[in-house]
Chains A and B, each alone.
Chain A
Amino acid sequence: MIRFILRRVLGMIPTLLVISVITFALIQLPPGDFLTSQLEQLQQQGEQISEERIAALRARYGLNQPVTVQYFKWITRFVQGDMGYSFEWNRPVNELIWDRLGYTVVIALGSLIFTWIVAFPIGIYSALRQYSLADYTFTTIGFLGLSTPSFLLAMVLMYLGYEWFGVSVGGLFSPELVAEPWSWAKFVDLLRHIWIPMVVVGMAGTAGLIRVMRANLLDELQKPYVITARAKGVGPVKLVLKYPVRIALNPFISTVGWMLPMLFSGSTIAAVVLSLPTTGPLLLRALMSQDMYLAGSFIMILSTLTVIGTLISDILLAWIDPRIRYE
Chain B
Amino acid sequence: MGVLIAAARAGAGEGIPPETWPKSWFEPPKTASQLGITKFHESPMLAREVAAGKLPPVERRLPADPIVVRPLKRIGRYGGTAIVFTTVNTSLGEGGILNNVEPPLRIGPEVRRTLPNYAHKWEYSSGGRVLTLHLRKGIRWSDGHPHTAADYVFWFEKIQRNKDITPIQSPPWDTAGVTAIDEYTVRFEFAKPNPFFVKELAHHGHYYCRPGHFLKQFHPDFVSKEKLERDAREQGFQDWVAYFGQMQSTNDPEVSCPSLFPYVVRQQGLNLLLFERNPYYPKVDPQGNQLPYIDRIQALVVQNREMMTAKACTGQATIAGTQTETSDIPLFKRGERKCGYRTYIWNRLHGVDVAIQPNLTCQDLGLRAIFRDVRFRRALSLAIDRTEINQMLYFGHATPRQTTVIPSSRFYEPRFAQAYIQHDPAEARRLLDEMGVVDRDGDGRRDRPDGEPLNITLEWTPMETPKGPTMELVVEHWRAVGLDIRLKQLTGGLQSERARANLMHMTLWHADRSTDILFPPEPFWFVPMRRQWEVSIWPAWALWYLTNGTKGEEPTGKARDVLDAWIEMRTCMDDDRRLELGKSILAAQADQLWTIGTVGLAPHPLVVKNNLHNVPERGYWGWDNRWSFPYHPETWYMSEGDG
Contact = CB atoms under 8 A, between A and B. Distances in A.
Nearest to A57: B238
Contacts of A170: 302, 307, 310-311
Contact of A271 (B238, B301, B303): B303
A246 interface: no
B327 interface: no
B54 interface: no
A90 B494 contact: no
Nearest to A281: B303
Interface in A305-319: none
Interface in A91-134: 91-92, 95, 99-100, 103
B238 A171 contact: no
Nearest to B271: A277
A171 B270 contact: no
Given A45-B167, A95-B236, A288-B489, A171 B494 contact: no
Interface stretch (B205-213, B500-508, B593-601): B500-508
A232 B164 CA distance: 88
B237 A90 contact: yes
Nearest to B168: A45
A7 interface: no
Contacts of A275: 302-304, 307
Contacts of A28: none
B535 to A, nearest CB: 14
B242 interface: yes
27 contacts: A32-B498, A32-B503, A34-B494, A37-B501, A40-B497, A43-B501, A44-B500, A45-B551, A48-B163, A49-B167, A90-B242, A103-B270, A158-B310, A168-B314, A171-B300, A171-B302, A175-B83, A175-B316, A178-B298, A179-B267, A272-B303, A275-B302, A275-B304, A277-B301, A288-B489, A288-B490, A291-B494
B239 A56 contact: yes
Contacts of B241: 49, 53
A57 to B, nearest CB: 7
A281 B302 CA distance: 11
Contacts of B493: 34, 87-88, 289, 291
Interface in B296-347: 298, 300-304, 307, 310-311, 314, 316
Nearest to A51: B167
Chain A CB count within 10 A is highest, among B237, B267, B270, B493, for B493
A65 interface: no
Ranked nearest first, the 7 interchain pairs of A and B with the lowest CB-CB distance are: A289-B491, A40-B501, A37-B497, A41-B501, A47-B167, A88-B493, A275-B302
Given A277-B270, A277-B271, A288-B489, A49 B494 contact: no
A169 B316 contact: yes
Interface residues of A, number: 51
B559 interface: no
A162 B314 contact: yes
Contacts of B304: 272, 275
Interface of A: 32, 34, 37-38, 40-41, 43-50, 53, 56-57, 60, 85, 87-88, 90-92, 95, 99-100, 103, 158, 162, 168-173, 175-176, 178-179, 271-272, 275-277, 281, 285, 288-291
A178 B25 CA distance: 37
B269 interface: yes
Nearest to B502: A44
Contacts of A90: 237-238, 242, 246
A44 B272 contact: no
B438 interface: no
B497 A38 contact: yes
B274 interface: yes
B490 A179 contact: no
A57 B164 CA distance: 15
Contact of B167 (A38, A50, A88, A173): A50
Interface in B473-528: 489-491, 493-494, 497-498, 500-503
Contacts of B12: none
Contact of A179 (B298, B307, B310, B502): B298
A45 B237 CA distance: 21
A53 B167 CA distance: 11
B255 to A, nearest CB: 13
Given A34-B493, A179-B298, A277-B270, 4 more contacts: A37-B497, A169-B314, A170-B307, A289-B491
A95 B267 CA distance: 18
Contacts of A290: 494
A298 to B, nearest CB: 15
